[in-house]
Amino acid sequence: MSGKTLKIPIKRRDFIRRSVHTVVGLTIGGIGGILFSKSSSEEMVWQLDPNICIQCEKCSVNCVLPHSAVKCVHSYSMCGYCDLCSGYLQPGARVRDTGAESQLCPSGAIKRTFVEDPYFEYTIDEKLCIGCGKCAKGCNSFGNGSLYLQNRHDRCLNCNQCSIARRCPSQAWKRVPASQPYILKGDESNKFLKS
């Protein structure tokens, strides 16, 4: 008799356990199903919109990487190939040459090469570029705006919460599909045209 009364509550408990287990399992499955229906097989990656960017220099210091994943890129199709380049030369530089004292770039990452009179080509050495955007600011203020910042995906770790995006004052950062990972200016913008 006493054995029976002992057994019954255990059975009931087991039954409750089992049904709760099933219900919870189904719930997780349901949540999973709903999420899958909203999912994309494609990764989302971080990018900054150069049309919103104000070149505040925060990109260079707020990346989790010791050397920021943000680099300056150059849209050659927009560039005026100016001799007096406001993205390359210090404002009020005495001479237009490649001397360190004339350069705006703090790390000397822009290379100035003579093309033909009066044109000069400017290329970015990404190994040296720190992503401060000083050149981009100069080019945007007085030039064609062909120098601008982009998040470089060979370096970016694609953090779940980008620590630059969090501190961006102009809210220029957003998640973009990995198949269109850059927001480019000029003719190059056709490269990742949204279909």
Partner 1 sequence: MIQSRIHRGKIFIFAFLFVFPLFCMSQVPERFPKPDFQTDYTRPDLLTPTPRATALEYIDIFVLVAALSLASYFAHKQRSRRNIFLLMVFSLAYFGFFRKGCVCSIGAIQNVSYVVFNPAYAIPLTVIVFFILPLVFTLFYGRTFCAAVCPLGAIQDAVVLKPTQVPSRLENVLGVLPYIYLGLAVLFAATGAGFIICQYDPFIGFFRFGADFNMVILGMSMLLLGTVVARPYCRYLCPYGVLLNWLSRLSKKHVRITPDECNNCRLCEESCPFGAIKKPDEDVPLETKQVDVKRLAVLFIVLPVVLLGSGWVGSRLYAPLSRGHATVSLAEEILLENSGKRTEMTNATKAFRASGKPTEELFAEANSIQHNFKVGGWIVGGFIGLVLCLKLIGLFMRKRQIEYDVDKGKCLSCGRCFAYCPYEQVRLGIITPEEADKMGSREVKPKQFRA
Which residues contact partner 1 by CB under 8 A? 17, 20-21, 24-25, 28, 31-32, 35-36, 38-45, 51-52, 54, 56, 58, 64-66, 73-82, 115-116, 119, 121, 123, 140, 142-145, 152-154, 156-161, 163, 166, 169-172, 175, 177-178, 181-182, 184, 188, 191-192
Q: How far is the CB of 39 from partner 1 (least distance, A)?
A: 5
Q: Which is nearer to partner 1, 99 or 157 (CB)?
A: 157
Q: Which is nearer to partner 1, 101 or 154 (CB)?
A: 154
DSSP of 133-176, one letter per residue?
A: -HHHHHHHHHS---EEEEE-TTT----SS-HHHHH-TT--EEEE
Please state, in angstroms and as integers, the Cα–Cα distance from residue 62 to each residue in 56, 74, 103, 105, 137, following that order.
Answer: 12, 22, 24, 19, 18
In the complex, the smallest distance separating the C-beta of residue 96 from partner 1, rounded to whole angstroms, is 15
Q: Is 101 exposed, middle or buried (0-12, 13-18, 19+ CB in 10 A)?
A: exposed
Residue whose pair of structure tokens reads 């920021």 in the numeric block: 68
Q: Which two tokens stand for residue 171?
A: 């809210």
- CB of residue 58 vs partner 1: minimum separation in angstroms? 8
Q: Between 64 and 99, name the residue whose CB sits nearer to partner 1.
A: 64
Q: Cβ closer to partner 1: 78 or 104? A: 78
Helix (H) or strand (E) run with residue 9 in it: helix 2-38
CB of 69: closest distance to partner 1 in angstroms?
Answer: 11
State in angstroms the smallest separation of the CB of 104 from partner 1: 17
For partner 1, which is the closer residue by CB, 97 or 163?
A: 163
Q: Which is nearer to partner 1, 3 or 101 (CB)?
A: 3
* Residue 163: half-sphere exposure toward Cβ, Cα within 13 Å: 11
Euclidean distance between CA atoms 72 and 64, whole angstroms: 18
Least distance (Å) between residue 48 CB and partner 1? 12
